Amino acid sequence: MSASVRFDGEIIISRQNRRIVELMKLDDRRAREKTRTFRFDGVKLLCEAIRRGVEIDTVFLRAGTAERVASRMEELYGCSLSEAGCPVLGVEDSLFEKISQENAPDGVITVAKYIDKSHNSIIIYKEDEASSIKDAPILLLEAVRDPLNVGAIIRSAAALGVGHIIMSADCADLYHARTLRAAMGPLFSMPITRVEDLPGTVKALRASGRRIYAAALDDTALRLGSSELDREREGHPVGAVIGNEGHGLSEAVMAACDRSVYIPMEADTESLNAGVAAALIMWELCKK
């Protein structure tokens, strides 16, 4: 049975409509930061946002498939449009196709408020701030600028049991469309902190009793999975730092860490994608 949908107002037919103009501006990071809102496409992400308590501003539905979208929400994810708690606007079908960010649109676009309860722009530099982060393994990212990598890392972190992600200020935008698509629902609930002073943050975390490892190959690097690494980290909360896709970690961050770890690889092979490398290191840090 199709779920009934009632739109707030007339169906939107023009790209010059004020609500459509405001929506399209959110493709730009500056507009997102100014309004403290972001957009995403798809039924699954909308239901994940509802389930995880994200504050939703507006839902746009393709008018011709609105009831199908509402039915999918209920049948696949146990959610209803009424749970979004916001205006639901209908968009004429051909216009919806033009404003969607997907090649095969689901028929729903959501605008939501920034997730301030999880994402704080602060500098961790005091020992008491670092010690407030729970003892689950943490992951730190320095200048990881590809949104797909950042999104994939967030998704893997949630799956493997990482408790917190700390990002340098020059990492990819959390609310970029590709970050959102790659991360899926975990972005809405994973504790993520963006910091200006990553080396200072590493030092504070170490001062609080945590061991922090740089993902880099140097003369003292420990092999990931080695018994020596297991002995060294025993009894300590741990963390690891992943660097930029092309340049790796800065000297300042490496100097702030306890030591380096490396992923054993076959000879004459290229280095791993940052998202893949992060997943392997997180698996090691999170294993019981």
Predicted confidence band at 247 (pLDDT cuts at 50, 70, 90)? confident
Specify if 137 maps to a domain.
Answer: yes
Same domain, 145 and 130: yes
Burial of 174 (0-12, 13-18, 19+ CB in 10 A): buried
Specify if 12 maps to a domain.
Answer: no
Specify if 65 maps to a domain.
Answer: yes
Same domain, 133 and 258: yes
Same domain, 36 and 166: no
Q: Is pLDDT of 221 > 70?
A: yes
Q: Domain total for the chain?
A: 2
Domain CATH code at residue 56:
3.30.1330.30
Same domain, 240 and 152: yes
**pLDDT for position 121:** 46
Same domain, 123 and 108: no
Mean pLDDT of 111-123: 66
Tokens of 251: 């000297």
**pLDDT for position 219:** 82
Same domain, 210 and 265: yes
**Distance (Å) of CA 76 to CA 36, 144, 246:** 30, 34, 40
Domain of 206 in residue numbering reads as 119-286
Mean pLDDT of 203-209: 92
pTM for this predicted structure: 0.89
Boundary of a domain, candidates 50, 85, 113 = 113
**pLDDT for position 104:** 82
**Distance (Å) of CA 8 to CA 20, 47, 60, 168:** 14, 20, 10, 41
The pLDDT tens digits for 95-109 are 999 999 988 889 999
Boundary of a domain, candidates 93, 113, 133 = 113
Q: Is pLDDT of 130 > 90?
A: no
Same domain, 146 and 242: yes
Specify if 218 maps to a domain.
Answer: yes
Return the exposure string of 127-157: e unless at least 16 CB atoms fall within 10 Å of the residue's CB, then b.
Answer: eebbbebeeebbbbbbbbebbbbbbbbbbbb
Same domain, 22 and 128: no
Predicted confidence band at 90 (pLDDT cuts at 50, 70, 90)? very high
Specify if 152 maps to a domain.
Answer: yes
Specify if 203 maps to a domain.
Answer: yes
Same domain, 105 and 175: no
Specify if 217 maps to a domain.
Answer: yes
Predicted confidence band at 124 (pLDDT cuts at 50, 70, 90)? very low
Q: Is pLDDT of 73 > 70?
A: yes
> Which is higher by pLDDT, 60 or 220?
60
Q: Is pLDDT of 129 > 70?
A: no
Domain CATH code at residue 258:
3.40.1280.10
Boundary of a domain, candidates 71, 89, 113 = 113
**pLDDT for position 230:** 84
Same domain, 142 and 47: no
Same domain, 52 and 176: no
SS (H, E, C) the chain: CCCCCCCCCCCECCCCCHHHHHHHHCCCHHHHHHHCEEEEECHHHHHHHHHCCCCEEEEEEEHHHHHHHHHHHHHHHCCCHHHHCCCEEEECHHHHHHHCCCCCCCCEEEEEECCCCCEEECCCCCHHHHHCCCCCCEEEECCCCCHHHHHHHHHHHHHHCCCEEEEECCCCCCCCHHHHHHHCHHHHCCCEEEECCHHHHHHHHHHCCCEEEEECCCCCCEECCCHHHHHHHCCCCEEEEECECCCECCHHHHHHCCEEEECCCCCCCCCCCHHHHHHHHHHHHHCC
What is the rounded distance in angstroms from the CA atom of residue 286 to the CA atom of residue 288? 6
Q: Is pLDDT of 132 > 80?
A: no
Taking the CA atoms of the chain, what radius of gyration do you get in angstroms?
A: 21
Predicted confidence band at 39 (pLDDT cuts at 50, 70, 90)? very high
First to last CA, the chain: 46
Q: Is pLDDT of 29 > 70?
A: yes
Same domain, 74 and 181: no
Specify if 10 maps to a domain.
Answer: no
Q: Is pLDDT of 22 > 90?
A: yes
The whole-chain average pLDDT of the chain stands at 90
